[in-house]
Amino acid sequence: MTLGLGLLYVGCVLFMNGVGTLQKWDPKAMAVMNFFTGGLLVVINTINIACTVVAVGADGIGADFYGIATNMLFGFTYLFVGCTNLFKLDGRPLAWYCLFVAVNTLPCAYLSFVTADPIFGVIWLIWGTLWLAYWFAGAEMKITLGPKFIGWYTVVVGIITCWVPGYMLLADWWKFLY
């Protein structure tokens, strides 16, 4: 249930960030939904950490934190975006964080493929390309991606990998894919 909830709001914030980039909205205005989404994900996953520690004890945690840790990648992304936009900060640290997350999507995709969840394997790879695009866009590399590409790509990725799957998970329709 929390995966569907998180994906729905990540889909919303990606859609809004993409449209905001295309329409050149004030970054401070775009920060609001980033704080809502990032805050929601961090709070939910902090509660999940506490529940996991209580359920399994501090010694037996290990892989129990995998889902929480990967969800926190999203939560911190949107809090980082929100802070960068609200306070008009230099975007390069955010861009390098995006590279860190993009690299982490590779083993996440691999694990999805080997655990018989190929749809999420593909989704992880697509998310990786989006985080990589933001690295190229913000790290002042010689290769640049314009705001039009970033905006449209963000909208498309948000809809097909987050909004729709999140809604399907919440409505219990995801099971029909397997």
pLDDT in tens, 21-51: 999 999 999 999 999 999 999 999 999 988 8
Three-state secondary structure along the chain?
CHHHHHHHHHHHHHHHHHHHHHHCCCHHHHHHHHHHHHHHHHHHHHHHHHHHHHHHCHHHCHHHHHHHHHHHHHHHHHHHHHHHHHCCCCCHHHHHHHHHHHHHHHHHHHHHHHCCCHHHHHHHHHHHHHHHHHHHHHCCCCCCCCHHHHHHHHHHHHHHHHHHHHHHHHCCCHHHHC
Question: What pLDDT, on the 0 to 100 scale, is given for residue 58?
Answer: 63
Q: Mean pLDDT in the chain?
A: 93
Torsion angle of alpha carbons 166, 168, 16, 73, nearest 10°?
A: 20
Residue 77 has pLDDT above 90, yes or no: yes
Using a pLDDT cut of 90, give the percent of the chain over it. Answer: 80
Q: How far is 27 from 63, CA to CA, in rounded Å? A: 37
Q: How far is 55 from 128, CA to CA, in rounded Å? A: 32
Residue 127 has pLDDT above 70, yes or no: yes
Residue 144 has pLDDT above 90, yes or no: no
CA distances (Å), 46 to each of 39, 41, 52, 82, 89, in order? 10, 8, 10, 19, 26
Using a pLDDT cut of 70, give the percent of the chain over it. Answer: 96
pTM for the complete prediction? Answer: 0.94
Question: What pLDDT, on the 0 to 100 scale, is given for residue 65?
Answer: 86
Question: What pLDDT, on the 0 to 100 scale, is given for residue 177?
Answer: 84
- pLDDT tens digits for 55-73? 776 666 667 789 999 999 9
Question: What pLDDT, on the 0 to 100 scale, is given for residue 96?
Answer: 97
Question: What pLDDT, on the 0 to 100 scale, is given for residue 36?
Answer: 98
How large is the average pLDDT for residues 120-127? Answer: 98
